Chain A
Amino acid sequence: MGFAEIFGLFILPAAIILLSLILYIFFKEEGE
């Protein structure tokens, strides 16, 4: 498997989950 294949099947889904975690960490509201 080349990079393109690994990217599409494994890195891309991991990156989306990571995005949600980043937003979770950095968009904490006052009172939370």
Chain B
Amino acid sequence: MENAAGITIQADPLALLSFLLYLLVIIFIGVFSAKYSSSGLPEFFLAGRKLKEFVVALSAVVSGRSAWLLVGVTGMAFTIGAPAVWAVTGYITAEVFLFIFVGKRLRRYTAKMENLTLPDFFESRFKDESRILRILSVFIILIFMISYVASQFQAGGKAFSTSFGVSETSGILVTAVIVLVYTVLGGFLAVSLTDMIQAFFMIFALLILPVIATIHAGGWEEILTILQNFNPKFLNPFAFSTGGIIGFLGIGLGSPGNPHILVRYMSIADPKALRKSCVIGTVWNTLMAWGAVFIGLVGRAYYLKPEALPGGDPENLFPYLASSHLHPLLLGVITASILAAIMSTADSQLLVASSGIARDIYQKTVAKDKTVPEKRLVSISRITVLSLVIASLVFGVLAKKFVFWLVLFAWGGLGASFGPTLLLSLFWKRTTKAGVITGLVAGTVVTIVWNQVAFLKDFLYELVPAFFVSFLLTFFVSLLTSPPENAESELKSIAAKYKR
């Protein structure tokens, strides 16, 4: 069969078998979680805030790591070499601090106020009865999340096409249907449990492939010799422009503002346990990231000319290198790992977007004066997930060529709008509603405008300027307006009390 890249691939029955087993487990989890998740919105959207530190740690890191890590970072390391480490250093370091400091405060505040979503949090924090904060937050979440999910589905299509030789369109549809089934059935619990399994697939694939490919090449010394002859600076992480390094590190500014990561912290049973989650999550994050970088480097030693890859596309390196070096059973695991990265991100984003409509728009705005039964709210949430999958598929078809651009754009837009406003809301008592509204709008607008101006975009990744503009505007507008009452005591009550 011929895939989109024009390379003939024969799907191996063993690879298909191991892959199908993986899918069965994922769907079983959806069915298993369905009853619990049907009992109400806290269960459907936050697993009743009962998750353990290990699940939260893995779910938080893999929800944030999309196909961009497996397909994008491997391709980037293949193209630019060791400077790709800066693209992963920023977000991993940012998430170390998120687990310990931001996650705990957010979990304590949202549990105390019975908040299920980030828009819920902003409304409670600023006692906003006008609903402006809630609606604005949902609007921002929806525009970026639909592009984000669309890009994940498209990456799924690409992975299926390269590994099993099916058409990209069929691959996109299969990815969407699998995510839809277990997310609709099992809600947050299924999403978190499947994230945990997907985390194992991802780390296994990212570590085993560079090791086996290195052994097949004759060892690390052999790889080093080839790469030194190819380009003496290929393994030097500093052989890159300062602006490039800052832009790569700036990717980490997106972590505090991506709601699908933040809700993971809100779901932990004991906020103190986020300290353990921090270590588990960081080890996982780091090993996965450097595994991806090593795949790119080792892959370059094999294919010095990018034309040797399917379609000449470095983003095909990961599945292509795997198909050249691994037993078909392991190849199935590699494909599963790519789908795992995609699904673990798309499912979390779908739930966050769905909560924005079912909880924030319907329950808290449209039906605010009615008592809607919890089970009906869950049904509405499920229908919303289905609608969002369809919307993302349509959008994905319309914007087929821009998959990774879309990921960075969405990551940046969410990070720049929610990151600064959330951090200031959690840590600074003087933050005001007007400041947050300004910050949310500024983060979104600067991301979009910067991205559309070619010379600005080439100079620096839009997230970095958008984050700082949003931060400064939230700060200064807050200083000019009056903070809500009780902000000091509310923030004091959620602050951690450390042992001396």
Contact = CB atoms under 8 A, between A and B. Distances in A.
B236 A24 contact: no
Interface string B195-223: 00000000000000000000000000000
B499 A30 contact: yes
Interface string A16-32: 11011101100111111
Given A23-B278, A30-B498, A16 B236 contact: no
Given A28-B275, A28-B498, A1 B235 contact: yes
Contacts of B497: 29-30
B499 A29 contact: yes
Contact of A2 (B236, B283, B289, B499): B236
A20 to B, nearest CB: 4
Contacts of B294: 9
B237 interface: yes
Contacts of A20: 96, 99, 278-279, 281-283
B408 interface: no
If over half of B's interface residues share one DSSP class (helix, strand or loop), that class is named, otherwise mixed; here it is helix
Given A13-B289, A19-B96, A23-B96, A29 B498 contact: yes
A27 B286 contact: no
A19 B93 contact: yes
Contact of A16 (B100, B282, B293): B282
B290 A9 contact: yes
B480 interface: no
Given A13-B289, A29-B272, A4 B278 contact: no
A30 B97 CA distance: 19
B235 A16 contact: no
B400 interface: no
In this complex, the member of A12, A21, A30 whose beta carbon has the largest number of chain B beta carbons within 10 angstroms is A12
Contacts of B496: 27, 29
Interface in B214-265: 224, 235-238
B275 A32 contact: yes
A21 B283 CA distance: 10
Interface in B61-82: 82
A16 B293 CA distance: 16
Nearest to B239: A4
Contacts of A28: 275, 498-499
B127 interface: no
A19 B290 CA distance: 16
Interface in B265-291: 272, 275-276, 278-279, 281-283, 286-287, 289-290
B92 interface: yes
A16 B88 CA distance: 11
A31 B272 contact: yes
Contacts of B498: 27-30
A19 B89 CA distance: 12
Interface string B116-138: 00000000000000000000000
Given A16-B89, A16-B93, A30-B499, A7 B237 contact: yes
B85 interface: yes
Contacts of B97: 23
Contacts of A9: 82, 85, 235, 237, 290, 293-294
B275 A8 contact: no
Nearest to B220: A1
Contacts of A27: 100, 275, 496, 498
Contact of A12 (B89, B275, B276): B89
A9 B272 CA distance: 32
28 contacts: A1-B224, A4-B236, A5-B236, A5-B237, A7-B237, A8-B83, A9-B82, A9-B237, A13-B286, A13-B287, A13-B290, A16-B89, A16-B96, A19-B93, A19-B96, A19-B282, A20-B96, A20-B278, A20-B282, A20-B283, A21-B279, A23-B100, A23-B275, A24-B276, A24-B278, A27-B275, A29-B275, A32-B272
Given A20-B281, A24-B100, A24-B279, 18 more contacts: A5-B235, A8-B237, A8-B238, A9-B82, A9-B290, A13-B287, A16-B93, A16-B96, A17-B283, A19-B282, A23-B100, A23-B275, A23-B278, A24-B278, A29-B272, A29-B496, A29-B499, A30-B497
